[in-house]
Structure 1
Amino acid sequence: MQRLIIHVDMDAFFASVEQMDNPKLKGKPVIVGGNSPRGVVSTCSYEARKYGVRSAMPIFIAKQLCPGGIYLAVRHKRYEEISHKVFDILHSVTDMVEPVSIDEAYLDVSTLKDEPVEIVNMIKKKVKELLGLTLSAGISYNKFLAKTASEWNKPDGLKVITEDMVPEILKPLPIKKVHGIGEKSIEKLNEIGIYTIGQLLNLTEDEMVYYFGKYGIEIYNRIRGYDNRPVCVERETKSIGRETTFDNDTTDKSFLKAVLSDFAQELTRALDEEALFAKTVTVKFKTDNFKTHTRSKTLKKYINTYGEIKATAFDILDNYNINGSIRLIGLSLSNFSDARYEQLSFFDLHMDKQLEEG
């Protein structure tokens, strides 16, 4: 039986939530990412995109392109709250839901009686009626094509890609549409005259490996319509974190600790919501020369309280020799478990005892 995969992607999610919460913002260029000139655009409304504003663009450039835009700070907690409601709707359709991000997911509907188009339209209707938001969806027989289809006619789009349409339908698309091809690889391909998937299809497997490494075989197969990745219901959370870029560079550790303290509170809530405990704490710094530094500490036990997270972050900061000013700081947690305490082996206990006695 051929699989039937749906990829759903909320339209301009953060900005749409802001417009939903404040109807006066509807139809206006909303840029979420804050007012700081050092910040970056998290998401922007489609009205802002008409000016050339894009995600991950520095705020100061966005303001040059769209000086009349409405610039708002990111509200993670609110977006997570709405995301949970969206995923509740998806889970009402099927248990085979794979979250990709806060606003994106795959659904395997192969065993459902309803047609995929009917399922998507029902999801769209529920999301619109209950939340006032829109989403775009793609339907196909594998994940790569379903995701490609969902990006076809945003916002509020729906596209179906069937097996007989491949690879012809992909040939005109720019190579940046292929997930896994980064900017450097795009530049290399452009240098040899490859701009579209149609041109990429002319490369042999060996040439694909040359340009993309081991991942080249996967790309070679995907653009030909082959992608056997299943929809994974359980996705392991690898890390959670927060970061911010300052308006002015700083060397004030008291100020940096205040920021880390706020992050520790947010991450504590995130751990609680996921019922997780973390063992590794990482502090990220970006100095005034734009170099990024990370310092991590892996603990002997798993932690999940605000006090433990904050204390570990402060310890990392106190032991970091700051050369120059700090323009960005971040805090993240990783190495997760749903168990409160790490099981110490007999060797660990024996060594601890020796250290105490020595």
Structure 2
Amino acid sequence: MAEFLQAKDNRKIIHVDIDAFYAQVEMRDDPRLKKLPLAIGRDPDKHLGHGVVATANYVARKAGVHSAMGSIEAKRACPNLVFVAPDFDKYRAISAQIHAIFHEFTEMIEPVALDEAYLDVSSNKMSAPTLAAKLRKRIWEETHLTCSVGVSYNKVLAKLGSEHHKPNGVTVIPHNLAQDFVWELPIKDFRGVGAKTLEKFEKLGIKDGRDLYAMSQDDLRVYFGSFGDVLYWQARATHFGPVKDRSIRQSVGKENTFEFALHDRQVVEAAFKELASKVVANMEKRKLLGRTLTVKIRDDDFHTSTKGITQSVPFELDPAFMVRQAMLIFDEAYPDDMAIRLLGLTFSNIEEQKYQAVSLFEQ
């Protein structure tokens, strides 16, 4: 039965996990932190011993520091640990950038956290490994952040894959290798196996996926209740849970990265016109409106500037208006010499079309 179910699952699922997201962002923004053990959280020396580690970089993790650990305990494990207070507004903004990249590859996206999501790319004609490579390249170009990616035919295997080679790794688990992969997996690495479950497995002498596979479904139910069914199918590399889009899309935008820098204002305006027409067509197709329009410009020195305008009611879907707004911002930022490598236009504060939008210039 399990083999039949497995053979019928021909989806292409990608799981993306940004490596030590909060810590990596802070190291990117302050390179002096890269070689230091870093924790994101409140410093216990400055907050009367209070605080919890939100995440830690890999230097700190080697010293025994991990997320959800109390700050005092983390300091004991790593006395030279450096604490940086979290900046969740910044993290949310970067997460939105990353999710906008996801939408370049598929509309079937299930966010798990700011730094993690499942993508169903089954409808994309390119192979899943090729898409994963392009996705990682886009995230690096856009944010200068690395990610770990798992590629397979279901969500569980994709998640196990992204955890298999961390950080900055890719693991592809095709049908013909899936069962061997699961058999060799230590029991502690199975999804949902925590400390108490692991203790039970140790008493039962279950050490890896092959041992788990040998257990009957009835025995697993006896020892683990309904979770036994989950374990039974995990051991058979089978899971049919769909990638679920949990909310209305948060932004609709389009960017263009240029192989050669743009030096002419008329060429920049033409590029904005092309972007505006694509964004408006996308919004109209999905019957969406936006209350915030953001313009993004990156120059040859990798300096990125973004500026948005927000109004209380949605904007009219007018490409000409978008280009006018974009050029006003562009002329303010680059009055003289220019060497432009990326341009972008994005609508956010998205809502479904329910009434007629108005233009900013009509207010």
TM-score tier (shorter): 0.5 to 0.7
Residue deviations 1:295-343 (CA, integer Å, cap 9, x gap) = xxxxxxxxxxxxxxxxxxxxxxxxxxxxxxxxxxxxxxxxxxx9xxxxx
Matched, 1:127 2:127: no
- The residue correspondences of 1:152-301 to structure 2 (distance < 5 A) are 152-234=164-246
Residue deviations 1:199-254 (CA, integer Å, cap 9, x gap) = 22221101111222112112201220110111111259xxxxxxxxxxxxxxxxxx
Matched, 1:117 2:129: yes
- Of 92, 105, 116, the match for 2:104: 92
2:86 counterpart letter in structure 1: V
Distance 1:58 1:175 in 2: 27
Q: Which residue of 1 aligns with 2:117?
A: 105
Q: Is the 8 A contact 2:22 2:55 kept in 1?
A: yes
Matched, 1:31 2:39: yes
Matched, 1:53 2:53: no
Matched, 1:7 2:19: no
2:19 counterpart letter in structure 1: D
Question: What's the % identity of the aligned pairs?
Answer: 40
Residue deviations 1:134-179 (CA, integer Å, cap 9, x gap) = 0010000100001001111111100101111132212232222111
Q: CA RMSD in A?
A: 1.9
Q: Which residue of 2 aligns with 1:79?
A: 91
Distance 2:203 2:231 in 1: 19
Q: Is the 8 A contact 1:185 1:211 kept in 2?
A: no
Residue deviations 1:35-60 (CA, integer Å, cap 9, x gap) = 12332211111111121211122222
Distance 2:198 2:221 in 1: 14
SS of the residue aligned with 1:195?
coil
Distance 2:73 2:179 in 1: 37
SS of the residue aligned with 2:14?
strand
Distance 2:106 2:88 in 1: 27
> TM-score, normalising length from structure 1?
0.63
SS of the residue aligned with 1:53?
coil
- Of 8, 18, 30, the match for 1:22: 30
Q: Is the 8 A contact 1:99 1:235 kept in 2?
A: no
Q: Is the 8 A contact 2:42 2:50 kept in 1?
A: no
SS of the residue aligned with 1:149?
helix
SS of the residue aligned with 1:201?
helix
C-alpha displacement at 1:101, in angstroms?
1.1
SS of the residue aligned with 2:184?
coil
Q: Is the 8 A contact 1:172 1:196 kept in 2?
A: yes
Q: Which residue of 2 aligns with 1:262?
A: none
Residue deviations 1:68-97 (CA, integer Å, cap 9, x gap) = 121112222211111111111111111111
Distance 1:75 1:171 in 2: 41
C-alpha displacement at 1:17, in angstroms?
0.9
SS of the residue aligned with 2:199?
helix
> TM-score, normalising length from structure 2?
0.62
Distance 1:29 1:75 in 2: 18
Aligned residues: 238
Gaps of 5+ in 2: 1-8, 249-290, 292-350, 352-363
Q: Is the 8 A contact 1:173 1:196 kept in 2?
A: yes
Distance 1:74 1:170 in 2: 36
Q: Which runs of 4+ in 1 moved over 3 A?
A: none
Distance 2:220 2:22 in 1: 36
